Structure 1
Amino acid sequence: MKKRDFILLCVLGFSLAMLIASCSVKPDNLIAIGSKNSTEQLILGELLAQHIEANTDLKVERKLNLGDTFVAHNALTNGEIDAYVEYSGTAFSAILKNEPISNPEEVYQLVKQKYDQNFNLEVMPPLGFSNTFALVIRGEDARKMRVQTISQIAPKTPLWRAGFADEFLDRKDGFTGLAKTYNLSFAEPPKVIDSRLIYTALKDKKVDLIAGNSTDGQIGRFDLAVLQDDRLFFPPYQAVPIIRQQTLQKHPELREVFQQLSGKISEAEMRRLNFQVEGEGSDVKQVVQQFLQSKGLKKK
């Protein structure tokens, strides 16, 4: 190879390397919002993205449907995303490896402290709802018996049939502890039902009580009733946005933007949003846009 060709090749190689490097650097006015892989998470990720776009000059890259808790958490800590919505009890138990506790404020403050110390992450104020395990019965039964709490139905369960997913039967914060706390017994051992079919089984009267998630869209779709956990057995799972401290330092205006969402979504509202997407087939972006407008949060 001639010396001139060699020099030209080196120059081209260097230029290509610089081009690749420049493409991998994220622009200063761009932040990435992520989510886990569920309908609710897609809605919450889109909600953060639209609210930021409407109230700042930042551009938002959506990295939604990343995967489970650990995938999303790792994406946040390694800088692949700047923020996503987590649940306080999941952060407390799954990420921080603590035994579940029932006090929502205590869980929130401990998660906030440890995420700051361990990961340089800021846990923002809760969005207003908790998506936890929930005992669910048919709405017609709840109205007929005039029951609202788990304690109220405990004396009736010896005549009932229960159905639970495998996970609920196996977890520490699942059936065994719940039955002990409320002295629950059933006409027969609880049936193991696929989580995708559990609401249909209740609606079709194959069982009389199930464990679901408190914000599932099927609850409203099938006219079901969530029983209040009046003895606070289930751990709190408050929805909380989590953001990289480095991102907040670069874009301090995001603090106020995230705080504007504090307490804005009730459990019933989250359930309705999930139903609009899952039950009615509505577009996630449109559902979020309409919700933000209804709350007076859509400025641009």
Structure 2
Amino acid sequence: MKRFLALCLLSFALIVTLASCQTGKISSVGGDIVVASKGFTEQDILSELLAQQIAATTNLKVEQRRFTSALVTHNALVAGKIDAYVEYTGTAFVTILKQKDIKDPKIVYEKLKQAYAQKFNLEVMPPLGFENTFAMVIRGEDAKRYNLKTLSEAAQYTPQWRGGFGYEFMEREDGFPGLAKTYNLRFAQSPRIMDLGLIYRALLQKQVDMINGNSTDGQISRLGLVVLKDDKQYFPPYQAVAIARQQTLQKYPKLRTAISQLSGKISADEMQQMNYLVEGELRDIKEVVSEFRKSKGL
């Protein structure tokens, strides 16, 4: 009887295993492939996009993890704790590689691709199609009152303003220190270091007068805010690219095809719209990503 029960359990386990191999699945724990987010809405959306794309086009089981910064996520990738995530070229080039910024996006991409392969055994995949640069944001009413369009024009008013910026932006080499020097930005007091999830609320409630956001943030248009033009071209190009471990791509050849199918598929407006649906309309990320993939025939 015990042998019979054991055989039954073994047969059931084999059936479950075979069934799970018919199509990829997304899981919070355990998986063949681990994709990651750097810990904010857009990154959560892009992580879900990678996960759904891989699960739908391969027989791989996908796990997702969430981190807090570019450096932490990069280190996890190099250490083999994750297999892929979406990064921005300027962030990788300046923050990770510690290189001086270059304004030509094609040159940055090629240099990044070569350096990541040589230094980290990582592959920088083709760009997804949009750029997400830092955005210095002010209230629409202030932009109208002072007729402000550029950072250079805003610099004369910042001594009376309060700044509110994320921790990473305050620390990064392509962040606030260099920006302040380039535009001679001085504030009434030292800028507040704020959680990115609260930064737009602080601007609307007039706790601060200028914040750092991202150019594809859904709140910008929804809340009637204004992005000041980087007229001195301080910020490097920030093309969104998937980065994957070469070892993983070699182990699972279909993974490369799955990710490559996303190349050039996302415009800046489409990314901003997805961000808005999640943050503004509180839509479920999985549903938003699924609808986007359907609209692209993926």
Say whether the 8 Å CA contact 2:84–2:243 is kept in structure 1.
Answer: yes
- Spell out, residue by residue over 1:124-170, the C-alpha distance to the aligned partner (whole angstroms, 9 max, x if none): 11212333322101234445666543234445556654444455445
User: How far is 1:257 from its partner?
Assistant: 3.4
Give the conservation status (yes or no) of the 8 Å contact 1:33–1:45: no
Alignment of 1:1-300 (within 5 A): 31-36=32-37, 37-54=39-56, 56-142=57-143, 147-155=148-156, 157=158, 160-165=161-166, 167-185=168-186, 188-195=188-195, 196-294=197-295, 296-298=296-298
What secondary structure is seen at the aligned counterpart in 2 of 1:127?
strand
Aligned to 1:7: none
Q: 1:57 to 1:159 in 2, by over 3 A?
A: closer
Q: Which amino acid aligns with 1:52?
A: I
Q: 1:292 to 1:182 in 2, by over 3 A?
A: same
Gaps of 5+ in 2: 1-16, 25-31
* CA 169–72 in structure 1, closer or farther in 2 if over 3 Å, else same: closer
Q: Whole-Å Cα distance in 2 between the matches of residues 35 and 91 of structure 1?
A: 15
**Structure 1 spans left out of the alignment, 5+ residues:** 1-22
Identity %: 55
Distance in 1 (CA, whole Å) between partners of 2:69 and 2:270 is: 24
Instruction: Flag the 1:257–1:205 CA change in 2: closer, same or farther, 3 A.
Output: same
TM-superposed CA distance for 1:273, in Å, is: 1.9
Secondary structure of the 1:106 match is helix
> 1:53/1:143 Cα in 2 relative to 1: closer, same or farther (>3 Å)?
farther
Query: Which structure is larger by alpha-carbon Rg, 1 or 2?
Result: 1
Q: Distance in 2 between matches of 1:258 and 1:275?
A: 24
8 Å contact 1:220–1:272 — kept in the other structure?
Answer: no
User: How far apart are the structure 1 equivalents of 2:119 and 2:178?
Assistant: 31
CA displacement at 1:289 relative to structure 2: 0.6
SS at match of 1:89: helix
- CA shift at 1:208, angstroms? 3.1
Conserved in 1, the CA contact under 8 Å of 2:131 and 2:268? Answer: yes
Aligned residues: 270
CA distance in 1, matches of 2:235, 2:170: 14
SS across alignment from 1:117: helix
- Change in 2 beyond 3 A, CA 1:63/1:137: same
Structure 1 residue 286: deviation in Å?
0.3
Is contact 2:36-2:47 (8 Å) kept?
A: yes
Bigger drift between 257-266 and 247-256 goes to 247-256
Amino acid at match of 1:48: L
Q: 1:265 to 1:146 in 2, by over 3 A?
A: farther
- What is the TM-score with the length of structure 1 in the denominator? 0.74
Change (3 A) 1:228 1:246: same
Give the Cα separation in 1 of the matches to 2:80 and 2:160: 53
* 1:42–1:158 CA distance, 2 compared to 1 (3 A): closer
Q: Structure 1 residues 129 and 139 mapped into 2: Cα distance closer, same or farther (>3 Å)? A: farther
CA distance change for structure 1 residues 120 and 148 in 2, over 3 Å: closer, same or farther? same
Quick one: structure 1 residues 179 and 70, their matched pair in 2 at CA, closer, same or farther if it must change by over 3 Å? Answer: closer
Across the aligned residues of Structure 1 and Structure 2, the Cα RMSD in angstroms comes to 3.2
